[in-house]
Structure 1
């Protein structure tokens, strides 16, 4: 007993004591002494008796030299009484105040007579201690042993009669009990007191019960006797907290078993049944299989043998019928760290209670906040264990509240006390006990509880290594069970004789006890192997409990998940609110893009000239291509960084939401939406700042569209990584392996023509470049910047015709004529032309390509272009034809030149003269970009490769050779069949198509499946 309770009792005893000139009566003093003996060690009894005497002196001063004061005046000294009861109210909880009141009534009744003044005193104390009139009346009647005056629904009689002696009271029949146990329920504090009337030797927690003395029955207590079955606190509690049959839950596991592949670990065959209103504990050492068993029972891991039913319905075969019946609270947090306690509950309720109105949801949230003592912190941010805003116990209760708000009939809780203080652990367990008393079946996985928590459980399952269930039954009996099997001397004692505590850790010490060798050293061998304990359990416990499935109606539940769109809306709201609440996240992500644009733009803004004479012109900025490329890389990097943690940090929450059958598609769509919004803002801020610094005009939308598209693809890649990997560290380690190839194979740092010959092709971008987002994005931006700027927009088609005609007339045809002349010269000189077979094959191939242009009907019989058949006549025919074709292209080139001059003159007039024309050119064109896209630094305009000639000059004007989308780098457009598509839009679509592919892999979670498959394959190889 607490000292504050004891002091309060002694003061009240002193006030009410029957005092005469000879002092307090011997019987009254004996009551005080016996009371102290029950609650204190022997060496403290005299100390508190002296304290009692001091209180007598204070409250009865006339005995110690003061004036004669009538004892009635003492009893009615309200100021003195009010002062003591006020101190009691400040110091004690209601249950402790009830104990004070009970002992006070007993003390007053020591002479078995209660005067009117004493009754008035009791009423005053009861009112002061906020004890209701009905409970005051019941307690007084119970002390006076006038049970007929007590409210019938507050009494429980245990005897050997078929019906109780009082009609209407609760009753338990115990055939071998001699006498009667009468139990009173104090409802407001859920406290039980009892009196035994009879001659049997009964024990309360191992201590003798004195007949006709009123005893308290605390949580976990039990009454035992040599001939009677144990009477548990939980049995008594259940009688008073009984639920109607229609709402009861019958949970049955029949001969369930699970074994992991290639392992002895799992859960060995066992059966288990329990109904609602019970708090069940699962205890065992590390690695015993507690979590595996909890997952099996909760419907997360299907047993390989046996079945699990709720009211006769198999939870695995008929999942839909028990949907919402089972709740599961994992050991890890399920909280959105950035949101408040209230927001966490609110969004969770919206996902579970779609049939509730907004008002009903708010009412339910406020109710559960009050019930779980979270009202004061409802608007505090949840935070994380390293940056706390609420305590560990509050976090745990909030996790439980997330499940309780949908009111599951069966609640599973994994390690609810891990990481909590003893006080926090007790609060959480009392909460779970309260849920059991409300009619739920609560099954808790717990490592090693201390005494007070251990006694809260109604039943206990104990697991040994490799999933052997070795005990099932009352927790207190577990101690005596294992003591008996281990031949302990005091095997029948489960509680400490002096303090009433139990030692649950003693169970595991007995179970895991090791052998000792001849030198007294502890060995690794156990005294009793898990298999032996399991065999004893099957023989002594399992064999005596026949499991019978119960078919009953399931209770109605409020659980109902919203439709897919509503889930998407709620998930999106949750994502947005959590990000808005994280100021650091918002600051970094929305300042990152403009700051990087500022840095890149500032350092790439090159001005020609020196000192103060330097003036900036976009046309002369040699760093514009570098800026465009860095814009692509930055967008890619930002898209990866912003999405890399998105799913991995929600892993535990996703596990719970899958347990609730919430839509993963809706969740993913909400993530994608929010990330795309962030990427859109980032891309816009980058383009606004960067383009403004470099004075790039007229490209805002196109540059934003491309950078946004790149970021979206990076978002999808990041989400795939986040979904497929288990560690945030691994996620960030893998990002360089994505970004570096984008740098290397973009075609910017390393020319595609200079790659290893295995990857090189002169007319197409290599395959490795085709799969690089950076290549598609940079090419699109560079080509669009060059040909679709305001200056070149109308001139480019004309310039393209001119350059293509110039290529044929000035390069390709003269090259073919030169090669033909050389072969004809060798033949005329009588030299062997057998060595010219390759040259002739090349000419034949090129003539076929020229013939497809339709300029002339034929180049003659090109099949004769063979060393054995080539002759001078064929030579003359081909050269004449080539000359006709060349003249055609010369004419086309001249026509294009005239068109360009005419268009330039038109633009000159439109823009207001030559000076304005040149100013427009300075503002919209870029010489360095033109140099790269026209490949002016390439010394050879034509290269030979595999008996073909390939153009390597003015690539920006060259039409692609493929009709299925492939093309050379910097092609002005791409072809699909007969359709010609502008490079910018074609590349944009290609990147979005890649995004779609990664969306499919994300929906199917292919990376996760692959990594899981790979891990399983490696484990199998090791074994």
Structure 2
């Protein structure tokens, strides 16, 4: 309290003192002294008391002067001065302090047991200026002056004495009777052996409890003796103690007033609960609790004792090994639907979306929690929560992250708590609410939690090293020891006495400082973890009392006295109701888009990265001849195509790699709320697809513009977009399955490098290591590479579908097929046939000749199928036993027929090609056709897909002759979609599918497969499985 306020208060007391006819009494001075002792250090109390006496003398002279003039002027002066002083100090006094000042003034006025009309008018003026509610002003009068007034609210008064006026809840339930009350006006609390009575008044507007004792027992509050008839304030954690009476706790008194305010009572019960981690003895040992709503419960213990684990057991995130957890007799695991929304959980981790504002975080949280709320209701709920959290002024500030702060740590913690408070859960579990906060912020957060208990909620908070004030806020304390052993369950202040007693300390009964009333919570853990001392007087690593021994003491002294509370058979109503999947998708989508739009750095990088890479690639691959650029002569064009695919793969990975891992903590909460994972994932995927579509089109437009690629924009875009989408799903899978961003970015090169090597551009598939290569088809390892499919689709589409080649492709295919058959295949078959004749005639190289006969049968059969001819009858006689000159002649005759067929095909195709070319010449002219070809037809790509650099046009493998000439004009034999590289079609059963569309379909099927692995969280489950195997092996080694 500031000096100016105290100065003004001394004015106020002095005015009241001089309003009395007899002046200041000794008791009046003691009231002032009592007030000063609350707000002023002992060394300066005399200074302010002396100031009070000086003001009193001043006003006494003023009033004596006014009395000589007119008696009424004295009263007017008193009231005017009082009003001025109140106006001056009320701006600096919170409402609770105003009420305390009023109580002291009432005591001061009533110290002679007589209240004059002017004194009452003076008190009324003060109450009016302090904005004290009329009802509470009357209650204060009744409390200080006695219950002689008729209009005060008796329900705000509690009488504590040794008179039995009602059955307790448990006793009435046992005796099958309703709780019976003798006097229903006052609230009552029974305390055996309490002679006299304690009167408690509850000021609801400021949540203030004051009391006075009327009796002769030696009672103590915070170690200080309670003086009869004197008013005391009950603060959090206060305990009234006395000889032969049980301790009266703040929570017992506050609970009496909360019973009526809380409409629906909650009993949270955990019976014989046990939890063990897999392959470990750590977890939570057998524990029983039965707690009522309206309490703030703290969990204390050293690091790693299982405090967070206990919260996750109580909220249902972890499955029990034994026991059950119930809310009003409803099992939380068996009745998940019934108890949905009743438990709130605030983890230690930050659950905020950094890019959104404070308001937006609460707003979209509300949209996901209140299906039936209208837009106006949601806005009202959000604004009210902002007011309750004290964040209304900061509502438009971006949340940011702990390193790039826009709001303070205390504001972040309150906002995190607000996300759960908005749902109004009956039970709120909070993990480390004060972690990393200053003492001021810690108290603000704990006050916020304490306020929830006043609304009838049960709040359980895991806390580490609380201050004295925070420690006293708890109504009950649970303490855990290493290994998950519960070792205490009871009142926080009594915990200090309990452990001191168990440790046989001399001052065991002292729980708090007699002078200041502070407690030292750290001494509890110091006692628990006391080490043995060796012969040299140094502490050892061994503890004096093991966790299991503390647990045994707990079971004997505390657990044995545990009595479960009676629970109602109904649950409180909750407005919490999650929207449908489509609605969730739209909320997730909007939330995700907004978070990205507010991140300027993210937008700049992801929107400009693709065009910048297109410029770089286009510039460095733009090959010029004699200073002029011609698309048809650009020998780097195939490199550009492949790198375009690699860039799309890279962009797709980088934009998605952090999407889920950055939301990992948020996903835990959304899983706790039973929100739809598919809706969340779909919103992420759709956003990434849109972003990839934008990146792909900007890359294609710029890249094609630089390299003068015309007529292929949509073709390129669809391939690159498909590649990026597949890559998006790869990135999302690793983002969901791995635990570290660093690990993810280490993994990206491991994904991209195989795509580079096995994409078919850098190394020919025929030139791979013999262990993986396949001379007939693309090897299996290549088929698993996305770049193999998309690069082939681009290369084939560019060669086959460009504006020039599409006029000639079918005719050139016929010419190529006929040329290979007549110039390479048939001569080779005839040569093999000749060798077979000689070998049979001279009976040499029998084994080699047998393989040649098998090759002849295979190739002639295939030739007949391709030419649509019937196989000659002597084909099966092509073997060592049945071969003869007649068979040889029949074979040669058949080959001559096939050769004639393909020569005719070549002539026909050549004629059609010449006709088409002549038509173009007539239309464009010879120079125009040349320019037309140079504009659309790239020679380097043609050399690549026609395999012109390959010397061997045909190879022998497995009794077959494999064509290596003009692969783009070849049709594959496999009916299962496999083919050689650069094939223009793929075969599926009897059908032929264009390579472009087939390859895109393969990649999209892979994308769909990855979606299902993402939805099922396969990668994370696999990682956890391998991790569990490692743990089992480690345990076996230890044993």
Match of 2:576 in 1: 559
What does residue 157 of structure 2 align with?
155
CA contact (8 A) 2:75 2:118 kept: no
Structure 2 equivalent of residue 169 of structure 1: 186
Does residue 971 of the first structure (1) align with residue 983 of the second (2)?
A: yes
Distance 1:58 1:896, change over 3 A: farther
Residue of structure 2 equivalent to 1:144: 145
Q: Give, in angstroms, the shift of residue 290 of structure 1.
A: 0.8
1:666 aligns with 2:668: no
Q: How much does 1:22 deviate?
A: 12
Say which SS state the counterpart of residue 389 (structure 1) adopts.
coil
Structure 1 residues 163-172 or 677-686, which shifts more? 163-172
Change (3 A) 1:245 1:834: closer
Shift of 1:387: 1.1
Kept in 2: contact 1:856–1:881 (CA 8 A): no
State the shift of 1:865 in Å: 3.9
SS at structure 2 position matched to 1:406: coil
Is the Cα–Cα contact under 8 Å of residues 722 and 1004 in structure 2 kept in the other structure?
yes
Contact 1:8 1:100 in 2 (8 A): no
2:92 corresponds to:
91
Structure 2 residue 691 is the aligned partner of structure 1 residue 678: yes
Aligned to 1:483: 500
**Cα distance in 1 for residues equivalent to 2:844 and 2:321:** 87
Q: Does 1:722 align with 2:735?
A: yes
Give the drift of 1:288. 1.2
> Does the C-alpha gap of structure 1 residues 635 and 502 become closer, same or farther in structure 2, counting only changes over 3 Å?
same
Alpha-carbon spacing, 1:984–1:835, altered in 2? closer, same or farther (3 Å): closer
1:815 aligned to which of 807, 814, 828 = 828
Moved more, 120-129 or 1006-1015: 120-129
Q: Distance in 2 between matches of 1:409 and 1:831?
A: 95
Deviates more, 1:305-314 or 1:870-879: 870-879
SS of the residue 1:949 aligns to:
strand
Among residues 619, 629, 646, which one is paired with 1:602 in the alignment? 619
1:551 CA drift (Å): 4.0
User: Hey, what does 1:914 align to over in structure 2?
Assistant: 926
TM-score (norm 1): 0.95
The alpha-carbon deviation at position 116 of structure 1 amounts to 2.6
Number of equivalent positions: 1018
Alpha-carbon contact 1:88-1:97 (below 8 Å) kept = no
Distance 1:76 1:306, change over 3 A: same
Aligned to 1:588: 605
User: Residues 328-354 of structure 1: CA distance to partner in whole angstroms, max 9, x if unpaired?
Assistant: 111111111111111111111111110
Find the aligned partners of 2:568 and 2:128 in 1 and give their Cα distance: 49
| Range that drifts further, 631-640 or 597-606 | 597-606
- TM-superposed CA distance for 1:47, in Å, is 3.1
Aligned match of 1:305: 322
Residue 114 (structure 2) aligns with: 113
Could you tell me how far 1:25 is from its partner in structure 2? Answer: 4.9
Tell me, yes or no, if the aligned pair for 2:79 and 2:122 is still in contact at 8 Å: no
Distance across 1 between alignment mates of 2:41 and 2:609? 69
Distance 2:289 2:31 in 1: 48
- The answer to whether the aligner puts 1:358 opposite 2:375 as a matched pair is yes
Contact 1:246 1:553 survives alignment (8 Å): no
1:842, distance to aligned residue in structure 2 (A):
3.0
Q: Does 1:988 align with 2:1000?
A: yes
How far off its partner does 1:498 sit? Answer: 1.0
| Cα distance in structure 2, aligned partners of 1:69 and 1:466 | 82
Counting only pairs closer than 5 Å after superposition, residues 834-853 of structure 1 correspond to structure 2 as 836-853=849-866
- 1:1018 paired with 2:1025, answer no
Give the stretch that moved more between structures: 737-746 or 410-419: 410-419
1:355 aligns to what SS in structure 2?
Answer: coil
Q: Which residue of 1 aligns with 2:173?
A: none
* 1:850–1:549 distance in 2 versus 1, CA, 3 Å: farther
Question: For residues 134-533 of structure 1, what are the structure 2 equivalents within 5 Å?
Answer: 134-146=135-147, 148-149=149-150, 150-163=152-165, 168-243=185-260, 247-533=264-550
Q: Distance in 2 between matches of 1:830 and 1:269?
A: 90
Q: In the alignment, is the contact (CA less than 8 A) between 2:783 and 2:789 conserved in 1?
A: yes
Rounded to whole Å, the distance in 2 between the matches of 1:195 and 1:181 is 6
Q: How big is the shift at 1:104?
A: 2.4
Q: Would the alpha carbon gap of residues 260 and 620 (structure 1) be closer, same or farther in structure 2, given more than 3 Å must change?
A: same
2:568, 2:75 → 1: CA distance?
64
Change (3 A) 1:167 1:936: closer
Which residue number in structure 2 is paired with residue 799 of structure 1? 812
Asked whether the equivalents of residues 606 and 616 of structure 1 are also in contact (C-alpha less than 8 Å), the reply is: yes
SS in 2 for 1:937: coil
Offset at residue 833 of structure 1 (A) = 7.0
Distance (whole Å) between structure 1 residues aligned to residue 869 and residue 192 of structure 2 = 119
DSSP 3-state at the match of 1:963: coil
- List aligned pairs for 1:710-749, cutoff 5 A: 710-749=723-762
Give the secondary structure class of the aligned counterpart of 2:603.
helix
Q: What does residue range 566-965 of structure 1 map to in structure 2 within 5 Å?
A: 566-609=583-626, 614-822=627-835, 824=837, 836-854=849-867, 856-858=869-871, 861-866=874-879, 870-909=883-922, 911-965=923-977
User: What CA distance in whole angstroms lies between the structure 2 residues aligned with 1:830 and 1:285?
Assistant: 92
C-alpha displacement of 1:264: 2.4
How far apart, in 1, do the equivalents of 2:79 and 2:393 lie? 36
CA deviation after TM superposition for structure 1 residue 1016, in Å: 0.3
Offset at residue 997 of structure 1 (A): 1.2
> Greater CA deviation, 393-402 or 635-644?
393-402
> Residues 69 and 1004 from structure 1, CA distance in 2 versus in 1: closer, same or farther, beyond 3 angstroms?
farther
Structure 2 stretches lacking a partner, 5+ long? 166-180
Q: Structure 1 residues 165, 857: CA separation in 2 closer, same or farther (over 3 Å shift)?
A: closer
Q: Which has the higher mean CA deviation after the structures are superposed, 642-651 or 85-94?
A: 85-94
Q: Is the 8 A contact 1:62 1:68 kept in 2?
A: no
Task: Provide the C-alpha distance between the structure 1 equivalents of 2:544 and 2:842, rounded to a whole number of angstroms.
Answer: 107
Which region of structure 1 is more displaced relative to structure 2, 60-69 or 221-230?
A: 60-69
Range moving further from structure 2, 289-298 or 262-271: 262-271
The whole-number CA distance in structure 2 between the counterparts of 1:545 and 1:141 is 39
Structure 2 equivalent of residue 47 of structure 1: 47
Check 1:907–1:606 CA distance in 2 against 1; reply closer, same or farther (3 A cut): same
* Cα distance in 2 for residues equivalent to 1:926 and 1:666: 46
Matched, 1:544 2:561: yes
Equivalent residues of 2:212, 2:229 under 8 A apart: yes
- Deviation of the 1:268 alpha carbon: 1.2
> C-alpha separation between the residues in 2 aligned to 1:355 and 1:400?
23
How far is the alpha carbon of 1:537 from its aligned partner? 1.2
Is the 8 Å Cα contact of residues 840 and 880 (structure 2) preserved in structure 1?
Answer: no
Distance between the aligned counterparts of 1:122 and 1:19, measured in 2? 11
When residues 2 and 837 of structure 1 are mapped into structure 2, their CA distance, relative to the original with a 3 A threshold, is: same
What secondary structure is seen at the aligned counterpart in 2 of 1:273? strand
Distance between the aligned counterparts of 1:452 and 1:191, measured in 2? 16
Paired residue secondary structure (1:508): helix
Offset at residue 711 of structure 1 (A): 0.6
Normalising to structure 2: TM-score of the pair?
A: 0.94
